[in-house]
Copies of this chain bind each other. A is one copy, B any other.
Amino acid sequence: MTAFFLHPQGICETTEVGEGTRIWAFAHVLPGARIGRDCNICDGVFIENGVTIGDAVTVKSGVQLWAGVTLGERVFIGPNVSFTNDKFPRSKQYPSVYSRTTVGDGASIGANATILPGITIGIGAMVGAGAVVTRDVPSRAIVVGNPGGVVGYAGAVEVDASRDTLPEDYGASLVRLAPHVEPRGRLFVANDGVVPFTPKRFFLVDKVPNGQTRGNHAHQSSQQFFVAVSGQIVIAVDDGRRAYAITLSHPGIGVYLPPRIWSMQCGHSDDAALLVLASDAYNKPGYISDYREFCSISSRAA
Instruction: List A residues at the B interface (Cβ < 8 Å).
Output: 9, 11, 25-26, 28, 38, 42-44, 46, 56-58, 60-62, 64, 74-76, 78-80, 82-84, 88-92, 106, 108, 110-112, 114, 116, 126, 129-130, 132, 144-147, 154, 177, 183-195, 198-209, 212-214, 227, 229-230, 251-252, 268, 271, 273, 275, 277, 280-282
Chain B residue with the shortest CB-CB distance to A54: B91
How far, in angstroms, from A271 to B186 measured CA to CA in the complex? 12
Q: Would A91 and B108 count as touching, CB distance under 8 A?
A: yes
Contact of A251 among B60, B200, B204, B280 (CB under 8 A): B204
- Rounded to whole Å, the gap between the CB of A98 and the closest CB of chain B is 13
**Interface of chain A, helix or strand or loop or mixed?**
loop
* A28 to B145 Cα, complex, angstroms: 31
Query: Min CB distance, A14 to chain B, in Å?
Result: 15
CB-contact partner of A206 in B154, B251, B268, under 8 A: B251
Inter-chain contact B189/A203, CB cutoff 8 Å:
yes
Q: How far is it, in angstroms, between the C-alpha of A28 and the C-alpha of B280 when the chains are bound? A: 62
Q: Which residue of B lies closest to A142 (CB)?
A: B88
Q: A92 is contacted by which of B38, B84, B281 (Cβ under 8 Å)?
A: B38
> A30's closest neighbor in chain B, by CB?
B43
Q: A91 contacts B56, CB within 8 Å?
A: yes
CB distance from A294 to the nearest CB of B (A): 20
Q: List 23 A-B contacts (CB under 8 A).
A: A26-B26, A26-B28, A44-B46, A44-B62, A79-B82, A83-B111, A91-B106, A111-B114, A114-B129, A144-B147, A185-B206, A185-B212, A190-B202, A190-B203, A192-B201, A192-B281, A193-B281, A199-B277, A202-B277, A204-B227, A229-B229, A230-B230, A275-B275
